């Protein structure tokens, strides 16, 4: 049993980076994740198919653990290979009518745009656009605009809970309430939130959620979760159904002849997308990382990460970095993004910081720092020293 401690990275002994601030990109596996992945591989190495029942039980446990993080029932949760797969599945399975309107947000990660564009081209849907950043710059005005669009008739709103570039947490309670008022459905990409910040999915009125496992959930790539609200399950069309989407899909393998039939009913809701053999190694790793997160408690992790941001944000401001973090705590997340001073740009700053042992990112022109539970607050001093040294050298090399 591994015991995680906030601000301690003793479960990451192999990590070669001095200060790892890229949990919004890919989290490195902890020793707990590595151990479970290797144990699963060993199990299959020793027993082959006999290990499958353990992998299957683990899958059920993981669905329940992820449901717990979201405050929903595990019956409405499926495991998917990544965020994109969950978006594509819902975009394919929704019973669209020609002319249905989807509200999208400029500035979103493309995962939550492309599948809706494809659905629009296929079914003759209309895409309506707002700017995600308007909700950071003038939230009240943007919410009024959102209400105007919804009042004009929107079938589905597709938005990320946390914007990948600025780190803005979108006003999900207002989104949920407005969608309910105007009869729209709410789809969220939660990969930049789940595991790093609390998310009351049922309470917020979210209808569909997709989130990959390799960022704030700290599992391996190739894992993820899809939630479908119970009231939406029956309407989904089984456009992505395959052999494991059926009720009792294994009977023809174990019950003798006569069970190989092709008209078994297909499960309704999220589980219909679990159509075939799954990523057992990834699921083993994700169960381990979610276990550590649950031991610590997402509320505590979030408070710790905010303390990290609080420690560095004024230091950055004093050096000319303009923070994108909202003054309103409701608009914050695990991501602290800034616009660096001078003309070098965020990408050059990220490269220069990497040379000083600090791993961060530069999505869409923002310098993004994304610490998680293993990051010590004291690391902020190290990051500031790296920045001072880059500034003393005249800024990052071009
Ligand atoms: C908001 C957001 N959605 C989706 C993804 C990735 O999607 P997927 O899990 O399909 O690779 C990222 C980052 O990689 C992201 O920041």
The 10s digit of each residue's pLDDT in 217-229 is: 999 999 999 999 9
Query: Ligand 1 centre from 193 Cα, in Å?
Result: 11
Query: Ligand 1 centre from 348 Cα, in Å?
Result: 23
Query: Ligand 1 centre from 171 Cα, in Å?
Result: 20
pTM as predicted: 0.97
34-293: which CATH architecture? 3-Layer(aba) Sandwich (3.40)
Domain ranges of the chain: 19-29+297-392, 34-293
pLDDT per residue as tens digits for the range 193-202: 999 999 999 9
Query: Ligand 1 centre from 109 Cα, in Å?
Result: 7
Residue among 169, 189, 213, 219 to mutate when testing ligand 1 (max atoms within 8 A of CB): 189
**Residue ranges with strand state E in the chain:** 19-20, 77-80, 101-106, 126-131, 156-160, 185-189, 208-212, 224-228, 322-323, 336-339, 358-359, 367-369
Whether 34-293 and 19-29+297-392 are alike in CATH topology: the answer is no
pLDDT per residue as tens digits for the range 121-165: 999 999 999 999 999 999 999 999 999 999 999 999 999 999 999
Q: Is the CB of 164 under 6 A from ligand 1?
A: yes
Task: Pick the atom of ligand 1 nearest to 112's CA.
Answer: 3
Mean pLDDT across the stretch 167-188?
Answer: 98
Where do runs of H (alpha helix) occur along 183-335? 230-233, 251-254, 280-296, 298-318
The rounded mean pLDDT for the chain is 97
Confidence at residue 1, expressed as pLDDT on a 0 to 100 scale = 83
Residue 398's pLDDT band, with cuts at 50, 70 and 90, is confident
* Fold adopted by 19-29+297-392: 3.90.1150
Angle, alpha carbons 88-90-96 (nearest 5°) = 110
For 369, phi then psi, to 5°, come to: -110, 125
Query: Ligand 1 centre from 291 Cα, in Å?
Result: 22
- Count the Cβ atoms, other than its own, within 10 Å of residue 319: 15
Query: Ligand 1 centre from 209 Cα, in Å?
Result: 13
Q: Is the CB of 163 under 6 A from ligand 1?
A: no
Q: What percent of the chain has pLDDT over 70?
A: 100
- Count the Cβ atoms, other than its own, within 10 Å of residue 358: 24
Confidence at residue 250, expressed as pLDDT on a 0 to 100 scale = 95
Confidence at residue 396, expressed as pLDDT on a 0 to 100 scale = 97
Q: Is the CB of 83 under 6 A from ligand 1?
A: yes
């Amino acid at each position: 049993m591994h015991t995680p401690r906030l601000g301690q990275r003793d479960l990451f002994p192999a990590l070669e980076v001095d200060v790892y601030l890229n949990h919004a990109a890919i989290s490195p596996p902890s020793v707990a994740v590595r151990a479970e992945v290797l144990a699963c591989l060993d199990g299959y190495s020793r027993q082959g198919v006999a290990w499958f029942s353990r992998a299957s039980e683990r899958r059920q446990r993981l669905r329940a653990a992820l449901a717990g993080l979201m405050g929903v029932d595990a019956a409405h949760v499926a495991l998917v290979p990544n965020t994109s797969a969950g978006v594509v599945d819902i975009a394919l399975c929704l019973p669209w009518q020609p002319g249905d309107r989807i509200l999208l947000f400029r500035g979103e990660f493309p995962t939550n745009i492309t599948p809706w564009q494809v659905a629009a081209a296929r079914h003759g849907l209309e895409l309506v656009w707002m700017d995600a950043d308007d909700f950071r710059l003038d939230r009240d005005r943007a919410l009024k605009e959102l209400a105007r669009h919804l009042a004009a008739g929107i079938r589905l709103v597709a938005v990320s809970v946390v914007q990948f570039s600025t780190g803005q947490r979108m006003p999900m309670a207002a989104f949920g309430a407005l969608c309910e008022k105007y009869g729209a459905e709410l789809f969220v990409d939660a990969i930049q939130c789940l595991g790093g910040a609390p998310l009351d999915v049922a309470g917020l009125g979210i209808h569909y959620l997709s989130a990959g496992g390799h960022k704030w959930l700290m599992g391996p790539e190739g894992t993820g979760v899809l939630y479908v609200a119970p009231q939406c399950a029956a309407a989904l069309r089984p456009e992505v159904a395959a052999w494991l989407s059926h009720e009792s899909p294994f009977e023809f393998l174990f019950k003798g002849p006569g069970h190989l039939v092709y008209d078994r009913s297909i499960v309704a809701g999220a589980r219909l997308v679990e159509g075939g053999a799954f990523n057992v190694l990834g699921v083993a790793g994700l169960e381990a990382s979610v276990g550590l997160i649950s031991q610590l408690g997402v509320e505590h992790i979030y408070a710790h990460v905010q303390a990290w941001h609080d420690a560095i944000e004024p230091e950055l401001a004093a050096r000319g970095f303009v923070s994108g973090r909202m003054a309103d705590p409701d608009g914050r997340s695990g991501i602290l993004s800034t616009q660096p001073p001078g003309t070098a740009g965020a990408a050059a700053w990220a490269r220069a910081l990497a040379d000083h042992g600090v791993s961060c990112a530069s999505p869409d022109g923002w310098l993004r720092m994304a610490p998680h539970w293993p990051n010590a607050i004291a690391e902020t001093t190290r990051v500031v020293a790296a920045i001072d040294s880059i500034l003393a050298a005249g800024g990052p090399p071009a």
